[in-house]
Every structure is written in C-alpha cells, then in structure tokens.
Amino acid sequence: DAGVIQSPRHEVTEMGQEVTLRCKPISGHNSLFWYRQTMMRGLELLIYFNNNVPIDDSGMPEDRFSAKMPNASFSTLKIQPSEPRDSAVYFCASSPTNLQGRDEKLFFGSGTQLSVL
C-alpha cells in the first residue's frame, strides 16, 4: 500500500490567494483527519471525517478554512483567502476505524509545507 498520499509536498503562495491541499487516504480506511503543525501551537486537529461525513470541525480556525471529502478516496483542505499566519505543515491521516481505543492506529501522510508570503 502506498500509504496516505498528500499533495503538494510544498506550497508557496501570496497572501490573499486560494490554497487547496489534497489527500488520498489508505484504501479501506473510513476515518480521515486533517492536522496542522506549527512551532507555536504544535499539532492541532482541524477536522475529522468518518465515512466521508464531517464529524468534528471544531478545530477549523475560521471561516477561511474549509474541508471536503467527496468520496472515500479523496479529501481537500482549502484556505481562502490565505494569510501569512496560515504557514504551517498540514498533515492528513487516516484510520481503519473511528476508535483509537481499538487495536488500530493513525497513518499519517508526509504533510504539505505551506508558506504564505
């Protein structure tokens, strides 16, 4: 299995531009998570999907952020308009189930390094 695939690996954009990050979870996984990693705040859960349905988006910073999961094999995280403070590494992760308490685990992608100038 190729693992969780994220694209692009690096994104450099100017303030005000729209940014779309993409994620392909591991086939058969029904849970998908978007995390953001910064030096100041560490790793933060942005949004959690289960069976393509957003279950918890309480971590999404503001209305400029939106996430979709149109099918089981694809998700996007969009920032519009982008701001310099959005610069971070964005990770997508998937899991076979929605319960960490079972003998399952999160599989992380390699992340997208976003720089907003």
Partner 1 sequence: AQSVTQPDIHITVSEGASLELRCNYSYGATPYLFWYVQSPGQGLQLLLKYLSGDTLVQGIKGFEAEFKRSQSSFNLRKPSVHWSDAAEYFCAVAPKGSNDYKLSFGAGTTVTVRA
* Alpha carbon distance 31, 44 (integer Å): 17
Distance of CA 39 to CAs 43, 50, 85, 86, Å?
9, 28, 12, 12
Rule CB under 8 A: say whether 51 interacts with partner 1.
Answer: no
- The answer to whether the beta carbons of residues 114 and 87 sit under 8 Å apart is yes
Q: Shortest distance, CB of residue 61 to partner 1, whole angstroms? A: 17
Q: Which region holds residue 13: left if phi is over 0, alpha if psi is between -120 and 50, else beta?
A: beta
The binder of partner 1 chosen from 26, 34, 79, 109 (CB under 8 A): 109
Pick between residue 74 and residue 108 the one whose CB is nearest to partner 1: 108
The binder of partner 1 chosen from 57, 68, 106, 115 (CB under 8 A): 106
Rule CB under 8 A: say whether 85 interacts with partner 1.
Answer: no
- Applying CB under 8 A, which residues contact partner 1? 4, 31, 33, 42-43, 45, 48, 55-56, 91, 93, 95, 98-101, 105-111
